[in-house]
Amino acid sequence: MDGGVPPQSVRRDGLLQIEDCLNADGDIVLPPGVNLISLIDRNIANVGDSVAYRYLDFSGSDAGQPTEITWTRLGVRLRAIGARVQQVAARGDRVAILAPQGLDYVAGFFAAVKAGTIAVPLFAPELPGHVERLQTALDDAEPTVVLTTTPAREALEAFLAVRPPARRPHVLVIDEITDSAAQDFAPVAIDVDDISHLQYTSGATRPPVGVEVTHRAVGTNLLQMILSIDLLDRNTHGVSWLPLYHDMGLSMIGFPAVYGGHSTLMAPTAFIRRPQRWIHALSAGSREGRVITAAPNFA
């Protein structure tokens, strides 16, 4: 759904234009060389000082402590994290993100893709009721590297300790990687038919299955959704509490990459404990321009 009064459409030179992605019949055709990483680079070059993602942390305050990251800052973090990934993983290896919701998760996901590896968006083992699903996904994906954060590190190491030593992945702590590592990043050419990430099913009716999602599929799907909701205004922003290991949660961080806007994120538990937080975030977003969100029916 969307809210707020849509302001006059703003064209920002240098950013991707939706009309450039349509053929004569109106079908979506990704321009050569366009993928999420190239779009992030385009945003860095053209709107680098603009906010890319905002995270509202409700763990210490009901007001929600905001943390923001600009496109330029995100670019530095992607290169730094990506460089560390490249030191312990080869192109095409799987890199799992087992971290709490937050900006480090966003950076870890995009960094894994930028490094030429295959991202596997999962969740920290401390998430109640999902340990078996997580174990099944790790057994299937066999990641070379796991990205996590300091708050989840202890639980993750205990979770991995039961695995045979030969099957334990390298653990990189995202927030401990310094910006200086960015100078060691080796640029990687990404083909549109390369695999971007493995998306695991919910496991509600059978063990989780990993679906190989290509860069072409990611870009096409995002453009389809953007066109379906007429999200052509550069002053449109997202608000989401959906988990980032969920396909729609990933879409909500993919939207800003395409059109140069930003997304405000919060943890699923923040919404579940007090649903009004979601509504308040939507209201605050509508003061900046048009705001969109997505959620399952129960919300």
pLDDT for 233 equals 64
pLDDT tens-place string over residues 149-197: 999 999 999 999 988 888 899 999 999 999 999 999 999 999 999 999 9
Confidence of residue 234 (pLDDT cuts 50, 70, 90): low
**Which pLDDT score, from 0 to 100, does residue 232 have?**
58
pLDDT at position 206? 75
pLDDT band at 203 (very low <50, low <70, confident <90, very high): low
Task: Residue 247: give its domain's CATH number.
Answer: 3.40.50.12780
Residue 239 counted as domain residue = yes
Is residue 55 in a domain? yes
pLDDT tens, residue by residue, 284-296? 999 888 899 999 9
For residues 48-63, average pLDDT: 90
pLDDT bracket for residue 5 (50, 70, 90):
very low
Please compute the mean of the pLDDT values over residues 192-212 and round it to a whole number.
87
The pLDDT tens digits for 86-129 are 999 999 999 999 999 999 999 999 999 999 999 999 999 876 66
The whole-angstrom separation of Cα 23 and Cα 31 is 10
pTM: 0.92
Residue 299 inside a domain? The answer is no
The answer to whether the beta carbons of residues 73 and 298 sit under 8 Å apart is no
Task: Strand 236-240: give its sheet, edge to edge.
Answer: 2-3, 290-293, 236-240, 263-266, 51-57, 65-70
298 in any annotated domain = no
Give the structural domain span for 122: 2-293
Residue 205 domain-assigned (yes or no): yes
Place of tokens 């971007």: 196
58, 266 contact by CB (below 8 A) = yes
pLDDT at 7 over 70: no
Instruction: Give the pLDDT confidence score for residue 148 in this predicted structure.
Output: 98
pLDDT of residue 130: 74
pLDDT digit string (tens) for 269-286?
999 999 999 999 999 999
Number of domains, the chain: 1
pLDDT of 69 > 50? The answer is yes
pLDDT digits (tens, 9 = 90+) for 9-39: 444 567 888 788 888 888 888 888 899 999 9
Crossing angle of the two packed helices 247-259 and 36-47, in degrees rounded to 10: 40
Beta strands in the chain (DSSP E): 2-3, 51-57, 65-70, 94-97, 118-121, 145-148, 170-173, 195-200, 210-214, 236-240, 263-266, 290-293
